[in-house]
Amino acid sequence: MIEIKINSQWAAFIKGHIYYRAKDVQKFKQDFPKLNECASKDLFLTDQTEWFLSTTFLQKIQVKPIDEYNIVTIELNDVYYKRAEYNTLEQKFNPPISEWIKYCFCKKLYNPREHYIQCNQCNLWVHYSCSDRSDKEFKIISELKFICFQCVEENKNNKLNLSDNENKDGQPNKLNTNIQVNKKK
């Protein structure tokens, strides 16, 4: 809200900044494929302002910064999140899409409604659905060590290199072999 004015008929008008939802950006401006991954609660603060008649407001909402995105508040009706700012003239986001919070190998936008599992080795958060495990296995694995397939591959390569060295200098293989394998097909 920026300003309030009352006209000669005693009607109150409120001037405010306009927020777009992802589908508003796509409807009026060019298409950004990444916007398809936005949730309905993601908002973009635009450079546009407008006067509204006070009686046209439906409800009051809270707009939180995107780094406060979490599964508890996303369920509340009046809480929304500012994913970025959007300049409608230049059709540019600030911060740019390349800097938005993304997780997993698939680099999808972070969404607290999705289930994630963290790699014990590189700390990357991986979508449970991208981790190559079924729902039944998830309950068991949550108490065990999870190593993403990238780290599994890396460890394999290191092990190969160490084996090569072992032949040359006779040193034992120092790699920890207690690894939970989660190789992606």
Q: How far is the CB of 103 from Zn ion (least distance, A)?
A: 7
**Binding segment (CB under 5 A) for Zn ion, from list 29-37, 39-47, 57-65, 115-123:** 115-123
CA distance 98 to 117: 23
Is residue 76 near Zn ion by the rule CB under 5 A? Answer: no
β-sheet bridge partners, residue 50: 16
**Binding segment (CB under 5 A) for Zn ion, from list 59-67, 68-76, 128-136, 159-167:** 128-136
Q: Closer CB to Zn ion, residue 25 or residue 117?
A: 117
Q: Closer CB to Zn ion, residue 25 or residue 104?
A: 104
**Binding segment (CB under 5 A) for Zn ion, from list 25-33, 54-62, 111-119, 166-174:** 111-119
Among 66, 151, 175, 179, binds Zn ion (CB under 5 A): 151
Q: Closer CB to Zn ion, residue 61 or residue 151?
A: 151
3 close to 14: Cβ distance less than 8 angstroms: yes
Q: Closer CB to Zn ion, residue 88 or residue 120?
A: 120
Tell me, by CB under 5 A, how many residues bind Zn ion: 9
- Cβ within 8 Å of residue 21, ≥6 positions away: 38, 40, 42, 43, 44
Is residue 106 near Zn ion by the rule CB under 5 A? Answer: yes
CA 114 to chain centre: 10
CA distance 120 to 114: 19
Cα dihedral sign for 68, 71, 72, 75? Answer: positive
End-to-end CA gap in the chain = 52
Is residue 101 near Zn ion by the rule CB under 5 A? Answer: no
Among 122, 157, 160, 173, binds Zn ion (CB under 5 A): 122
Using alpha carbons only, give the angle 52, 56, 62 rounded to the nearest 5 degrees.
85
Applying CB under 5 A, which residues contact Zn ion?
104, 106, 119, 121-122, 127, 130, 148, 151
